Structure 1
Amino acid sequence: MENNRIDYTTYHLPELEQDCWDRLVTGAVKSRTPFHTPSIATLHQGEVNLRTVVLRKTLATERELRFHTDIRSPKWQELSQNPSISALFYDAVDRIQLRVKGKAVLHHTNEITAEAWQKTSLSSRKCYLTRFSPSSYTDVSTSGLTDDIEHENFTLAESESGYSNFGIVSIQVQSIDWLWLNHAGHRRAFFDYEKGSFQWMIP
């Protein structure tokens, strides 16, 4: 096989669907794996906006994916108005692409965010301590952080003020479009959770 460790031509749809979720679970817990940083797309006034996020948690049984964000960010506002969301995952070694579609559920100052915040490192908490909101324009190149915070010269207690800006986006997965790029012939499948159907597709 051309740089592929698995021959997906032998897979049945249920096994393939399980493989998708296994990869998503791994992506959430192992930072060096390809599925750890998907691209997510939102809609705003008829325009598509893309950005890369960090996959923080996968709940396979619930078909749920989670990532963290600043509630002052444009994506939070966009999802507040339109919860439709897509996530794109790609493994360049195994040549596996997943296009995940779903609805976003936003979490802020609840049990889910409180638990995640307690597990968030000091270096990651920095992201929520900027004085101005993400995407604000500025006259100079800056992180938006004070020097002390930028150099992590602050305590965990002092970082608690960032919790008010901390949010979690939960993607309730409605479908997965799976694609395997293979020199002998690509393969594609679609898992539709709303209709409860798994189907092969022409790539």
Structure 2
Amino acid sequence: MENSTQITIENIQYSLSDIEKDCWSRLVNGAVKSRSPFHTPAVATFGQKEISLRTVVLRKTIPETREIRFHTDVRSRKWAELLSNPAISALFYDASTRIQLRLNGLASLHQHNDITNDAWQKTTLSSRRCYLTLHSPSSFSDIPTSGLTEDIEQENLSFEESEIGLKNFGIVSIHVQSIDWLWLHHAGHRRAFFDYTDGKYQWMIP
């Protein structure tokens, strides 16, 4: 049985504070474990009078500063959209636990600084290929193509040769302003909202 201020999930009782801590624990795991359901969130930006949505790879979570990061090509549309409007939202869902997180925040963009340089040095050769296309992401083509030359597509390049991709490498850092937590359950869903701007943690009607 749950009391008026706690809920029970898999025989563990959670208060609002416990749930908030669990959110960040899941986000930390999502950044370091490739098989985590939180590893590939959907991220939404706004540009050209429409909302754009895409899947990204969560690369880093910093609970202390309420920050999450993902990598991107600075020639991409999302980079341009965030330069114009830093508002951003990220959606995470774990089907096994039926837990959904919606994060809203503001993005800061990193390029040619210590943050990107450090991340680039840790980026695998396979991942570096993404930043070696001759044309920018979302460019139209007359044929189906990766945008890479054949040698690069077959990974016939060295780390030294891949360094040219650094100029196209950027990091989006989301400074989380709120988390909307939802737990789906057959006996009745539960929902909570964590507002870091106002410092309020509240239950919500799902």
Query: TM-score, normalising length from structure 2?
Result: 0.95
Question: What SS does the aligned partner of 2:28 have?
Answer: helix
1:85 corresponds in structure 2 to 88
Question: What SS does the aligned partner of 1:36 have?
Answer: coil
5 Å-filtered alignment, 1:1-12, equals 6-7=9-10, 10-12=13-15
1:17 corresponds in structure 2 to 20
5 Å-filtered alignment, 1:130-169, equals 130-169=133-172
The question of 1:54 aligning with 2:57 is answered yes
User: Which amino acid in structure 2 is aligned with residue 200 of structure 1?
Assistant: W
Residue of structure 1 aligned with 2:101, choices 95, 98, 101: 98
User: Which amino acid in structure 2 is aligned with residue 38 of structure 1?
Assistant: P
The question of 1:41 aligning with 2:41 is answered no
In structure 1, list runs of 5 or more residues that go unmatched.
none
Residue of structure 2 aligned with 1:68, choices 48, 68, 71: 71
Aligned residues: 199
User: Which amino acid in structure 1 is aligned with residue 171 of structure 2?
Assistant: I
Question: What SS does the aligned partner of 1:174 have?
Answer: strand
In structure 2, list runs of 5 or more residues that go unmatched.
1-7
Residue of structure 2 aligned with 1:30, choices 30, 33, 42: 33
1:8 positional shift? 7.9
User: Which amino acid in structure 2 is aligned with residue 48 of structure 1?
Assistant: I
Question: What SS does the aligned partner of 1:138 have?
Answer: coil
After TM superposition, the runs of 4+ consecutive aligned structure 1 residues lying more than 2 A away are 5-10
1:11 positional shift? 1.1
CA RMSD of aligned residues (A): 1.2
Identity fraction in percent: 67
Query: TM-score, normalising length from structure 1?
Result: 0.96
